[in-house]
Amino acid sequence: MSSDDFMDALVQATFHVTGVLTRIGAENDLSLTQLRVFGILRDRRPRVTELAAYLGLDKSTMSGLIDRAERRGLLARDKNPHDRRAVDVFLTPAGHELTERLYAQVREALTPDLDRLRASLHENTP
């Protein structure tokens, strides 16, 4: 496979994964950015500023996303236990439940593609 072919396949895969995430997000009244937030928060409790920087958003946009998710009972904010001036963002129990359900839906939607990719990689391995 040439570099151009590989790049084309990678771009197509990215579009496909983004489409799956967008569809599943829409089915759950979530944007792609909100899905990314939940994915990041699955196993960590970052500061609001760290989360905004990771997503490439300004702090006011990030605060609006968090506010909407807080109203739905999915996210919460609290002072950082090590630095009382900083505020952490984390999933609530309902947010964890939703995130696990979303992860299962994404895994189910992408498993056939991953299986084809694994098979293709095995076929092309010397």
Greatest alpha-carbon span in the chain: 56
Q: Which two tokens stand for residue 31?
A: 């944007």
- Band (126; pLDDT cuts 50, 70, 90): low
Question: Domain residue spans in the chain?
Answer: 3-123
- Band (6; pLDDT cuts 50, 70, 90): confident
pLDDT in tens, 21-68: 999 999 999 999 999 999 999 999 999 999 999 999 998 999 999 999
Taking the CB of residue 106, how many other CB atoms lie within 10 A of it?
Answer: 18
What residues does 101 pair with on adjacent strands?
none
pLDDT in tens, 74-124: 999 999 888 888 899 999 999 999 999 999 999 999 998 887 877 776 776
Query: Residue 70: pLDDT above 90?
Result: yes
Concatenating the DSSP letter of every residue in 76-101 gives EEEE-SS-TTSEEEEE-HHHHHHHHH
Distance from the Cα of residue 52 to its chain's centroid? 13
pLDDT at 114: 82
Q: Long-range contacts made by residues 79-87, C-beta under 8 angstroms, separation at least 24?
A: 80/47, 86/47, 86/49, 87/47, 87/48
The pTM is what?
0.81
H-assigned helices in the chain: 3-27, 32-41, 48-55, 59-71, 93-123
Domain 3-123, second-level architecture: Orthogonal Bundle (1.10)
Q: Which two tokens stand for residue 20?
A: 């799956």
